[in-house]
A and B are shown apart, each in its own frame.
Chain A
Amino acid sequence: MFIPRLSRVAFWLAQELSRGKCPSQAISGYVQRPFSQFMQCQVGHRMENNMFHASIMQKNCLYSTTFSNDASGEEAEQKQKISVTFVDKDEEEKHIKVPIGMSMLEAAHENDIELEGACEGSLACSTCHVIVMNMEYYNKLEDPSDEENDMLDLAFGLTETSRLGCQVIAKPELEGIRLAIPVATRNFAVDGYVPKPH
């Protein structure tokens, strides 16, 4: 299951590298580091096959990354974040900054946004379903993998621009992306019962 994701990460890295962002360049330090660490986490997670430690490990790996103390450090930190707007179930907007390389699921949790994440980003559920509110941004994302599509099949209120929050990874092109958290629309009422208006 992790192989396709790994290869996608590798693909992304390759893309970034081909654009001239190689690790020797100062600018790439912050781009590379969280990402490669993220990758290690994923591998570690699978190898160990220990789901209980996975989340903790993943968190530690991602957030223990410290940036260099030199003058450009702060500037770099500023640069590496993109603005993302979440529109929650009550249609309230929340504007957050998301570091490049972080998934929207983690970003939501970091910012106390109520986005479910039952499987903690391991592509085994569809609870972090988000709707990309603008087709233009949707098209900037890589196509969902078969595995993601398998999960999207089961998402409530699926739309043309639905994705799993754990698979949308912040990258510079996504600056300004708006994501809606779908409202549960399914009605479990007994068949034939018409609710009386309050």
Chain B
Amino acid sequence: MAIYGSVRRFWRSFSTFSSDPLRVCIVGSGPAGFYTAEKVLKAQEGAQVDIVDRLPTPFGLVRSGVAPDHPETKIVVNQFTRVAQNGRCSFLGNVNLGSAVSLPELRELYHVVVLAYGAESDRTLGIPGEDFYGIHSAREFVWWYNGHPDYRNFNPDLTNTHTAVILGQGNVALDVARILLRPTNELATTDIAEHALAALRSSSIRKVYLIGRRGPAQAACTAKELREILGIKDLQIHIQESDLLKSPADEEELKNSRIQRRVYDLLSKAASAKDLHSKLDHRELHFTFFHKPDRFLESDDRSEHVSGVHLEKTRLIGDESGRQVAVGTEEFEDVKCEMVLKSIGYKSIPAKGLPFDHQRGIIPNIRGRVVSETSGDSALPEQGLYVCGWLKRGPTGIIGTNLYCAEETVSSISEDLQKGLLQPTTRKSGRDGLLQLLDDRNVRVVSFREWEKIDSEERRLGSLRNKPREKLASWDELQRACWG
């Protein structure tokens, strides 16, 4: 660490003397992008950092992923805003990697390109019936209620739905379940998109299943999210007490993981709690453990529309690494439902011309350095190309995980500079070159100033409805707000 410190100081002094600054482009303005920018600005004195995003709005999943009823989690945008307002940093919105500018062009314009565009697609189950109407990915649903402009017209049918099945038991699954079950008057004062609030107000969903392949000792959610959903007003929680029986392997797992232990304890407390309210209009949440989807059932009345999930019961066996995995038992049962939300993981979209590890959903990298060849020992780094966030380590973790992830990538950049693997002395046109190129292609960039216009318009609209903001949820509205 001390060595790193002196390296940092050395490079600071180096870049002060060099006449042309180190030019860095970060693709993606979510937490990974902004933390990378912050750390580059700190580690490389004089470096010019540009953050490009395909949307006119910054902050990635902080804006379109974090649930509307978690305003505290979004406070981090204050920190990101300070980064964007740094004189050496620029936000360039409405710039799509691939259509507006290609990766080779960016690498030509900048000394360093960091890909941090996250995971904008979904893992699939690969089981029959997955394309039926009424089956969506949780990501689509989340983007819809968070006002992502690509999902303005998503319109899930909540009025002809009594039961929704959510496949998965991670935090995204819990978020989605909570939004479906929480009283809408509580959501009305959040920054939830107005179109979603209206749909939820007329929702007829009364029963939600959260289905997991493994047991309560392996649940992938965190205690905060679980505590929150268990505390929803007038919500009946159903947990099979028999599912809570622990095997010696479960005991061992719980002993080794504080978070799993606390989640398990919350679930067992909820299972044994006496149900005090039996209101007429009550809502139910069922935690279904040890089941995996086998295929989707088609409705008799509505062709190609889902009417249920055919589930296979599972049991746990230890794999070679000691992890407990679920295997089918060939015992089946059906759950009837009119809507399915698959919350089984996000997936990154490969970058054109770069290798991609489809298994892990990442761009192969060594401590953030993109490598083109991973066979055996001959990992060949792509000069000046780095990766951070979900694209680097897969779609897991919390906002703060990106802090450490960015630290690692930026220290790789610093090391490579020190080793002379990058040529900061070569003149690169950076931002000017990029803006020129985009101008030639009639791509209109959204600056951070212009985003601030969107921001204040959203707050103004929000204040009229007693919400912190009303998101402009279509491309048209967003463009009108920043360009008039």
Contacts and interface: CB of A to CB of B under 8 A. Distances in A.
A153 B223 contact: yes
B350 interface: no
B380 to A, nearest CB: 13
B393 A124 contact: no
A190 interface: yes
Interface stretch (A9-17, A64-72, A142-150, A170-178): A142-150
Interface residues of B, number: 40
A90 B5 contact: yes
B222 A150 contact: yes
A109 to B, nearest CB: 11
A1 B74 CA distance: 15
Nearest to B190: A49
A91 B5 CA distance: 11
A156 interface: yes
A118 B364 contact: no
A125 interface: yes
Contacts of A187: 408
A118 B222 contact: no
Interface string B1-43: 1100100000000000000000000000000000000000000
A146 B367 CA distance: 35
B217 interface: no
Interface string B392-411: 11000011110111011000
Interface string B408-446: 100000000000000000000000000000000000000
B75 A122 contact: yes
A154 B366 contact: no
Nearest to B259: A153
Contacts of B262: 149-150, 153
A195 B365 CA distance: 12
Contact of A119 (B75, B368, B404): B75
A49 B468 contact: yes
- The 5 residue pairs across chains A and B that have the minimum distance between CB atoms: A124-B72, A150-B224, A184-B404, A122-B72, A118-B76
Interface of B: 1-2, 5, 70-79, 189, 222-224, 227, 258-259, 262, 364-368, 374, 379, 392-393, 398-401, 403-405, 407-408, 468
Interface of A: 1, 49-52, 54-55, 89-91, 116-120, 122-127, 146-147, 149-151, 153-154, 156, 158, 183-184, 186-190, 193, 195
27 contacts: A49-B71, A49-B189, A49-B468, A50-B468, A51-B72, A51-B77, A51-B78, A52-B77, A55-B78, A90-B1, A90-B2, A118-B76, A119-B72, A124-B73, A127-B403, A146-B227, A147-B224, A150-B224, A153-B258, A154-B259, A154-B398, A184-B404, A184-B407, A186-B404, A188-B368, A190-B364, A190-B366
